[in-house]
Chains A and B, each alone.
Chain A
Amino acid sequence: MNPDGLIQNILICGIGGQGVVLSGKIISLAAFESGLDIKTSEVHGMSQRGGSVSTHIRFGEKIYSPVISENNADIILSFDIYETARYIRSFANEKTIIISSNRGKIPSWTSKIKNDKIENGNKNGNSFLDANGVAGFLKANFNFLNLIDDKKIAEHLGNIKVSNIVLIGLLSGFTEIKKEIWLKVVEKNVPEKTAELNIKAFLTGRNYYENKIF
């Protein structure tokens, strides 16, 4: 929560097609069902798939702007570790709680153009960081970092697609929204036949929070 304890700012980021929009819907409906004022903002970018995407969620007693201000996210929820690193620059501060997948998809072909061809490496000819490198950077700079192997957990549970819900389960612990409300909203907003699995995924993530296994 912000110092004034009134507004909670959550930024969700990832790659187009990863479920940023559905996750935003679940989190915002949980706040909505709690009777809080809420605003969200999503940007539909240039590409249908594969581009960097984000959703802003703000809730509290009274919300004006639907967009979070610079370095003012209380929580950053990220489904791709490269996007975590991309969004912390604009939205994180030293107290921001970061909940991120420890995996990411490296966007190779956007690297460097030389003689009209793509080469890997940045403009100084240095290599870009890989997922481990990004993880190292995040660990060195953030005290409230939760890097989760969400894909592996989801595979264990039976379907890699519920990885987002595992992270939402963990996130839920950092909000003052009641657990019952979260469970109700998750159940109502996933396909009916996957409801049980999604609830299990949510509780797995929630359990990480409750037992402080990060």
Chain B
Amino acid sequence: MAENSYNTNTINITIPHSSDANALLTGNEAIALGAYKAGVYVAVGYPGTPSSEILPFLAKFKSAIVNWSINEKTALEIAVGASIGFKRSMFTTKHVGLNVASDPLMTLALTGVRGGLVVVTADDPGMHSSQNEQDNRMYAKFAKIPMLEPSDSEECLNFTEIAFDISEKFDTPVILRTTTRISHSRSIVSLPDIPGTAESIKSAERHINKPYIKDIEKFVMAPVYAKKRHKSAIKRLEYLTDFSNNSGINKIEYNSRDLGIITSGISYQYAKEIAPSASFLKLSFSYPVPNILVKEFVKNIKNVVIIEELEPFIQNEISSFGINLKGKEYFPRDGELNLDLVKRGLTEAGFLTTPQNIHENIHESISEALPPRLPALCSGCPHTSVFYALKKLKVPVMGDIGCYTLGALPPLNAMDSCISMGLAFGAAQGLSLSKSSVKKTVGIMGDSTFFHSGITSLIDAKYNNACFTAIILDNATTAMTGGQDHPGTGKNLSLNQSVSSKIDIKKIIEGIGIDEIYIIDPYDYNETYKILKKAVQSENLNVVITNRPCVLYPKKLNCGIKFKVIEGCLGCDLCMQIGCPSILPSSCFNLSCDKRLPTIDDSCIGCSICKDICIFNFISEI
């Protein structure tokens, strides 16, 4: 692998910048750049909003081995192995993905590292695209490992680089925690040492091989060694607290002596804008919390309040020092913070006098009259017909996480659960055991989810003689997060070409010993319905796999034909029940029953599902 092929041409293409010194980057791009500068050698992860763009951006520099892994646990394990081999490694995940990787993480906290190891967790307060809004700062405390929280892209770059140094200096994995508004916001980053300077050379030097050395006391966490390592992890917290107090990463910005704000991450930006005259203790190295700095701040400032998104993490830490400050009394524990909530909280706390919002809400009246726009499956999405058939079959459907979660929403209403990655087949087994449904249970998930964590639960189903129908919506990509590769595509980031043969889902299932397998073309609705009906009537554990690719990734698809509603349509609305965004109500009515007639607009890609749905044959090819 070319170790230092980072050149000016590449950077001009990938990083927009007006001068040699600055670029306008997202937090995710800046993290990738920081990892590049730190000389990361192995970078791995599983796609998840809002973390997905870090690895593809890093892969462009061609300086490291950058790969999607099958799931987060495997990814972290790969990073651990690289670290044992003296190489710097990074693992990226969304907040809930760290739950999957938490098994290696908790014990890695005892063993420590050799090459620096950084865990990037991108949290999603407000749940823009997640099933919960857990606060992963808790993991730093839970595992007894240090954490950095950048508040803009510049800090994303710098903190990522520092994180590797901290990891090696203190023999610990380091958490770099962002949120959606950090990962997906752009701000200006200075690029002093890039490219082709001393920094790049440092990067290349990191790649020099060190021979493997065995050290069982450090890496074999059997009780005899783990007991010792736990003591060192506790001791390490003391050193890290010193570092938190004295390294200069955590800063006090003295201003007004009346109002002081302790904050971290994006909350710092909101607070700084709303209360520019306040003094600030900005926690960039936010675990362990710097006890001496907090004491100094509280001593020098009359009123101190804590502003943090989600859990009272900083507040509880500070209260453990015997200092009781207010925070969550004024700021919500759920959802995202924003300028208005910070303003309201500070007003309520008596630190701000805010005039009432002068903007009259003249606009409320339109809310009622405006058609809502729920997220939808794309025109021609192959998942559509499967969900429509499941709706018709009226079976209980244990669902999963991906684009197809939208199958739970109207008008399809054909998925009954969405809890965690890979839950569907386990939950389908459990639901069938409960005997609460007379109909056969269905579990449904996508191809990437099947690789992520569906295989094990399908093996369990076979092992325990479970009876349900497992549906795998194989669209040959990880669609929801933007079309990333997975074992079923045979490609990955580093080379952007085939890296292995495609791993065949059907062969995996045959290998498990399940004999009843159906491969269906979801663009043929009638056949899809017929086979699903057969599958849910069979008293065996069986599997149905769809075979149409995603319409967007890896490339936009178009069948080259379009459909239209022809004259004679009475407006029965049947075609509208599949939720295709190309089928809209027209301005024409069937006057006899006051029904609006549908129309198909030019976004139709010609999948033909609606043609099969219209049993009256009023939809035809143009």
Contact = CB atoms under 8 A, between A and B. Distances in A.
Interface stretch (A102-110, A168-176, A192-200): A102-110
Contacts of A92: 363
Interface in A76-123: 82-83, 85-86, 88-89, 92-94, 105-111, 113, 116-120, 122
Contact of B375 (A41, A42, A46, A85): A46
A41 B363 contact: no
Interface in B166-183: 180-181
A47 B187 contact: no
Given A41-B181, A128-B369, A51 B376 contact: yes
Contact of A116 (B363, B405, B413): B413
Interface stretch (B100-108, B267-275, B459-467, B503-511): B267-275
B34 interface: no
B367 A89 contact: yes
Identify which of B50, B363, B364, B584 gathers the most chain A CB atoms within 10 Å of its CB: B363
Interface in B471-513: 479-480, 482
A85 B339 CA distance: 22
Contact of B370 (A69, A70, A105, A128): A128
Given A47-B406, A120-B585, A86 B577 contact: no
Contacts of B403: 47-48
A152 interface: no
A46 B129 contact: yes
Contacts of A66: 152, 181, 185-187, 266, 269
A122 B368 contact: yes
B187 A39 contact: yes
Interface string B358-382: 0101111111111111111111000
Interface in B388-406: 403, 405-406
B411 interface: yes
Contacts of B22: 32
A45 interface: yes
A118 B595 CA distance: 12
A29 B552 contact: no
A64 B270 contact: yes
A92 to B, nearest CB: 7
Given A35-B18, A118-B573, A42 B581 contact: no
B359 A94 contact: yes
Contacts of B227: none
B338 interface: yes
A35 B340 CA distance: 28
A61 to B, nearest CB: 13
A139 interface: no
Interface in B321-368: 338-340, 343, 357, 359, 361-368
Given A28-B24, A94-B359, A122-B368, A117 B573 contact: yes
A71 B359 contact: yes
Nearest to B413: A116
B470 interface: no
A138 to B, nearest CB: 9
Contacts of B129: 44-46
B196 interface: no
Contact of A29 (B24, B181, B185, B581): B24
B188 interface: yes
Contacts of A86: 370, 373
19 contacts: A28-B24, A38-B186, A38-B187, A47-B375, A48-B378, A50-B373, A50-B375, A63-B187, A66-B186, A66-B266, A106-B584, A107-B373, A108-B576, A109-B376, A109-B579, A110-B372, A110-B373, A113-B411, A128-B370
Interface of A: 15, 25, 28-29, 32-33, 35, 37-52, 63-67, 69-71, 82-83, 85-86, 88-89, 92-94, 105-111, 113, 116-120, 122, 124, 126, 128-130, 133-134, 137, 141
Interface of B: 16, 18, 22, 24, 49-50, 128-129, 152, 180-181, 184-188, 266, 269-270, 272-273, 338-340, 343, 357, 359, 361-379, 403, 405-406, 410-411, 413, 479-480, 482, 552, 573, 576-577, 579-581, 583-585, 587, 596, 598, 601
Given A66-B269, A69-B343, A124-B368, 11 more contacts: A44-B482, A46-B375, A47-B376, A47-B377, A50-B581, A86-B370, A93-B359, A108-B584, A109-B583, A130-B587, A137-B365
